A and B are shown apart, each in its own frame.
Chain A
């Protein structure tokens, strides 16, 4: 497990309350470094600026949605290694398939607790360590 305090997150959601919820949950788990973006387009700009280690993104957003963001990240040689955890309110199988096919590192359904989030993060980090990019 990497040191939680050294990982910088980008939390992407168009609903600021939700960004705050996610950041608070992350903070509870010791991940204190997080920045926010209000849609995929803003997120991509920030990611291109560098310095981020992990993306937690909502699915349904204006301008550029979470799936488009995910695809853009995977298509960018400089960013494609970034873990992306998708958050959505929907437990629809089409969504899960689309996310998995586009290269999501994980998928979490709202609402969730810090415990659930931690499980997902731990799994993603384990996976990363097994197969370093």
Chain B
């Protein structure tokens, strides 16, 4: 059962806001390593822990309060110049944020978090006491651990309020004794030794070999949150538009009555025309406004990566800076969540494989510090995300040799491959370029998963690499998955929708240009040999007439011409998924303006169903007229 009965909503709010806050603290910590004396940063981080502590108190998450309190005190001393930030203290703090995240995971599962590992608390306490600095300031250290016992607040406040003219609106005489019903969390008022006693005493079975919570890969994070934060001005716009639609509806109702009563004068009809036109405009505005509420700045995803990159680079003895660009770029919320893992993997890959160790970089005349860039931008109706490094680049020959050795490709295939195709080898399942799999980038599982995940989002991924200069992974994604621009094609009078993103061009099928290779009909378009595939045969229908038009479509790694009878135009389809059953090759359905229901075809699935034997003979395209 949940430890948060009746508080679930509060808990969700807290987690969402506090997780963002923690990510920004993480980033500021990375910055702080570069500028250890920046008071603004120290203040911000202090406030971050302080705020989390305050919220945690209301959730009765005592252990989280304890941990945040210790860390916050540490930053209080740092910002007041009583302590100097050393790498030892930094490590303790990094562990602390990891532990806080761990506790968030527990809260996310609806349980009160366990105490932080005693070693960590001891470490923080040590840092607080100034014992983690190289030059220990003993005078400061002695005061550091003295957290005063509960002060006599009422007496204190009273004595203060007695000062003449000091307090215009004085607190009452009996003021502000702590409420007996709700004492502050026990840890706040105890010296740190007792806090640790408390923590250890609560859970003696704590594993001594505790490695510190995982910071880069969070398994518990899989639970998807179903809430979304929307700028109020965007919601207001939705409200505004729906109000206006209501008004237009009223206008239409009135006009309808007029018309039903026989009033069909020019004025009335003009007004009707105007009202319908207005409704048209308002509805499309409303659609785009609603869509916008789903759009979130990608920065919310990006902000957790600098810390991951830093930890990785440190573990590998490399000096890497992760540069974020275009954090304000907006992208559909569902995509943000699904992009998280692929981007983590690409960053890991860049830090682990892409970037050289400092010694190699110096030898090659590069600066020891390497730069990994994570960039997002909107290009037309696509979002482009680029993960690039300034490392050693990829060697196509080496990649081919590796793939050959692993038996993933044949000699002929290897010889026929151009540079781009060689790079794409790393997306093959089971491919890994490093002889000894490191614990950082895993064992060759991943790059293939990255590609599959991106494709699931209707996106594509491309590699650009120059030896000695670096590698870029370019991910291209549609703006949103909710609306799909489609081309409506016809078989007889039955329309089908195909994704417009796959359509390269539309061309008539001229039997004189159709050739036959190995019993399969092909067409040569500007030197490119393309198989000619009738939609009827893809669907397994019998052909009732000879297709007259072709749609040149580009699938991920091959192009083909889809032969059809005609077109019914293009639409922005709102995809409705078919709950419960899903016929092979059907991605979903949509409703046309005339109310007709149309199947949206999943071309990839249709093609995969064909196997090797995908072609049809040339004779399928000979019309009676041509044959005569």
**Chain A positions near chain B (C-beta within 8 angstroms):** 14-18, 20-21, 24, 58, 60-62, 74, 80-81, 83-84, 89, 91-93, 96-97, 100-101, 103-113, 115-116, 119-120, 123-124, 126-128, 133
Contacts and interface: CB of A to CB of B under 8 A. Distances in A.
B169 A101 contact: no
A23 to B, nearest CB: 11
B16 to A, nearest CB: 8
B57 A106 contact: no
Given A15-B51, A93-B156, A101-B166, A107 B179 contact: no
B228 to A, nearest CB: 14
A101 B156 CA distance: 12
Contact of B182 (A58, A92, A106, A115): A115
B54 A100 contact: no
A115 B179 contact: yes
A110 B54 contact: yes
Nearest to B58: A111
Nearest to A117: B179
A21 B10 contact: yes
CB-based closest 7 A-B pairs: A111-B57, A116-B179, A100-B160, A89-B54, A123-B172, A111-B58, A17-B13
A3 B51 CA distance: 32
A14 to B, nearest CB: 7
Contacts of A106: 171, 175-176
Contacts of A124: 171-172
A68 to B, nearest CB: 14
17 contacts: A15-B17, A15-B21, A17-B10, A17-B14, A18-B54, A21-B10, A21-B55, A84-B169, A89-B50, A89-B54, A93-B156, A100-B166, A104-B171, A106-B171, A110-B54, A113-B182, A116-B181
Interface residues of B, number: 43
A11 B45 CA distance: 23
Contact of A91 (B44, B51, B150): B150
B161 interface: yes
The CB with the most chain A CB atoms within 10 A, among B14, B58, B148, B189, is that of: B58
Contacts of A109: 178, 184
A89 B65 CA distance: 10
Residue from the set B47, B167, B169 with the largest chain A CB neighbour count within 10 Å: B169
Nearest to A116: B179
Given A15-B51, A74-B168, A96 B157 contact: yes
Contacts of A108: 176
A115 B148 CA distance: 26
B58 A127 contact: no
Contact of B151 (A81, A83, A93, A119): A93
Contacts of A24: 10
A103 B156 contact: no
Nearest to A103: B168
A127 B189 contact: no
Nearest to B59: A111
A62 to B, nearest CB: 7
B430 to A, nearest CB: 46
Given A107-B171, A127-B170, A100 B161 contact: yes
Given A91-B151, A91-B189, A104-B171, A16 B13 contact: yes
Contacts of B181: 113, 115-116
A100 B153 CA distance: 11
Contacts of B196: none
B54 A15 contact: yes
Given A104-B171, A111-B184, 13 more contacts: A17-B17, A20-B10, A91-B150, A91-B153, A100-B166, A101-B166, A103-B168, A105-B169, A106-B171, A107-B176, A111-B54, A111-B182, A123-B171
A79 to B, nearest CB: 12
A100 B184 contact: no
A60 to B, nearest CB: 5
A32 B625 CA distance: 81
B50 A60 contact: yes
A123 B171 CA distance: 8
A31 B437 CA distance: 62
Candidate in B18, B51, B189 with the most chain A CB atoms within 10 angstroms:
B51
Given A20-B10, A89-B50, A101-B166, A15 B160 contact: no
B160 A60 contact: no
Interface in B353-368: none
Interface string B180-215: 011011001100000000000000000000000000
Nearest to A97: B160
A83 B168 CA distance: 10
A100 B182 contact: no
B542 interface: no
A109 B174 CA distance: 16
Contacts of A92: 148
A128 B163 CA distance: 19
A103 B167 contact: yes
Contacts of B102: none
Contact of A60 (B51, B176, B185): B51
B101 interface: no
A60 B169 contact: no
A16 to B, nearest CB: 6
Nearest to B150: A91
